[in-house]
Amino acid sequence: MKILSIQSAVAYGHVGNSAAVFPLQRIGVEVLPVYTVNFSNHTGYGAWRGPLISPADVADVITGIEERGILPQIDVVLSGYQGSEGIGDVILDAVARVKAANPSAVYSCDPVMGNAKSGCFVAPAIPVLLRERVVPNADIITPNQFELGFLTGTEPTDLVSTLASADLARETGPRTVLVTSVERPDAPAGTIEMLAVTDDGAWIVQTPRIPMKANGSGDVTAALFTAHYRSSGDAADALARTTSSVYDLLERTHESGERELQLVESQEAYAHPRMQFAVTQVR
């Protein structure tokens, strides 16, 4: 499998491509990373250095890949945080080019906008771009519950409303929705869930909540789920493998006391997930 991953990059720590590439490689995926920024560290520190890469330069890198004759071999285009409308246009153009070269290729979009605690933390134009132009062109989307609500104009709060919101999102284009953080009032205290919804059904998995904020964990989640699902076509299995890997990554990071994901130290969790959490079909 080959994945064209168009995301940010940092020298220190693990977000964007700096979070997604290594876990994908560790499960045997060939990744072609295209960077949209090249920062010293993620912006959560409040200070960083390095350049935003212009949309024209990002497009130029993709054109160079196309000139090597590689696009027919690309199975997936993966995107995460989109820093500007211009980058969104470049990503959509890349998706169109890849699908023209390989009609079986899919586009997986992590529609990064914000979360319930922080609200939206992207430029005001980005959520509109994602909702109106990017998501309708995606095959897979991996929003959290807050982002799913914005995309659909709803307020998902429980399983029924989250399923309904996922179906509304699927009506706009993407056939697969992974809701990466489901919080509902009737779930046991100290837990969090992920929900996958496809044409074949819907599945949920519950894990203990690890009390930490981990920048980049969503990027790992989107990458692993996309690769596993593209490989097997089995959403329940992809959900189980992704959940196992990401939970062990977060647990190791929490135990380390470090702020940054212990990405390399957790590599066995990607290669050989323990499959320790039960996945339940809910529809």
Half-sphere exposure of 61 (CA within 13 A, CB side): 18
CB-based contact 247:220 (threshold 8 Å): no
On whether the pTM is more than 0.75, the answer is yes
Q: Is the pLDDT of residue 120 over 80?
A: no
CB-based contact 277:244 (threshold 8 Å): yes
Place of tokens 């899919």: 106
CA distance 222 to 77: 12
Chain segment 206-225, per-residue pLDDT in tens:
999 999 989 999 999 999 99
Residue 184 φ/ψ, nearest 5 degrees: -140, 150
- The pairing of strands 30-39 and 2-10 is parallel
CB-based contact 2:75 (threshold 8 Å): yes
Which DSSP letter does residue 45 get?
A: G
Statement: 2-281 belongs to CATH 3.40.1190.20: yes
CB-based contact 182:192 (threshold 8 Å): yes
CB-based contact 91:111 (threshold 8 Å): no
Chain segment 3-20, per-residue pLDDT in tens:
999 999 999 999 999 999
Q: Is the pLDDT of residue 251 over 80?
A: yes
Instruction: Give the domain ranges of the chain.
Output: 2-281
Name the residue type at position 58.
Answer: V
Band the pLDDT of 137: cuts 50, 70, 90.
very high
